[in-house]
Amino acid sequence: MTWNNPPRRTLRVLLCMAALAMASACTVSYKFTGTSIDYNVIKTIQIDNIPIRSAYVWAPMGPIFNNQLQDLYANQTRLQLVKRGGDLHIAGEITNYEQYNKSISADGYSSQVQLKITVNIRFTNNKNHQEDFERQFTATTQYESTQQLANVQEDLVTEMVEDLTDQIFNATVANW
């Protein structure tokens, strides 16, 4: 056997090894964030501070909401957050924060309390005004009436804010 003329079996092994090496080197990677943003056109987003305009207020709700909304766009898109003149613009206010009895137990007292947040959002797409809207988004959750709202409020508000910001994100940049 000489190197100039290897047997067919060795040639097949070498060809198979080369094919395997090439196949393993060529991988396809997909990353799906659920957005339908054309980054060649849309590059920036302006998210105004969303104030609380509700009669009933829990002060930390505003910063929790604003931080979650900005973080969601920062983490799920390549848009640059700007103070003014964004290609996309989100403004609005928290219009309602309320609690009410959801169910009554056999003894006539409330057994569950429902907590609800409503946010009014104005969305402007400065590159395509056909996508502009003003819409209300609502999230609710329940807790047992044996619990004090002060003890569960932060967790419940955080849960509802996550739901609200997901709804807003989907309505503004997911376009499903």
Domain locations in the chain as residue ranges: 37-174
Q: How confident is the model at residue 176 (pLDDT cuts 50, 70, 90)?
A: low
pLDDT of 36: 79
Q: Of 21-25, 42-46, 66-70, where does mean pLDDT reach its minimum?
A: 21-25
* pLDDT, averaged across the chain: 85
Task: Specify whether the CB–CB gap between 145 and 101 falls below 8 A.
Answer: yes
Q: How confident is the model at residue 104 (pLDDT cuts 50, 70, 90)?
A: confident
Cβ atoms < 10 Å from Cβ of 17? 10
Q: What CATH code is assigned to 37-174? A: 3.30.160.150
